[in-house]
Structure 1
Amino acid sequence: MKKLVLAAALTAAASTAYAGSLAEPIVEAPVIVEEASSSSSGVLVPLLLLAVVAAAVASD
């Protein structure tokens, strides 16, 4: 158990040592993706859910 705790502590210390560098950070421009969707796509899931609930109530 002590070896496991020691290994975890050394791993955490090593990962923080390599976290940064002296190189200039590279900032990339954000990419905007426009999705072509119809207006009915947001309505489809609630309608299917309503149909499933109605079928469950009708079967009882």
Structure 2
Amino acid sequence: MKKIALAAALSMAATTAFAGGHGGKYKEPVIEPAVVVEDVKSSSASGIIVPLMVLLVIAAAAASR
């Protein structure tokens, strides 16, 4: 009966050791947040250049008729 109790105690100790019972030796990995860099040098006028060019082409086509 002592052998069964000893085997049960050892199996319980081994189960905890393999199931993640580190005893505080290891820490959880720390994941740093991703750094997002945006280009702030562009001006808001860049969005109006293409429509102005289209209007100039249409005006030039209408003036040449």
Give TM-score, length-normalised by structure 1. Answer: 0.44
Say which one has the larger Rg.
2
Give TM-score, length-normalised by structure 2. Answer: 0.41
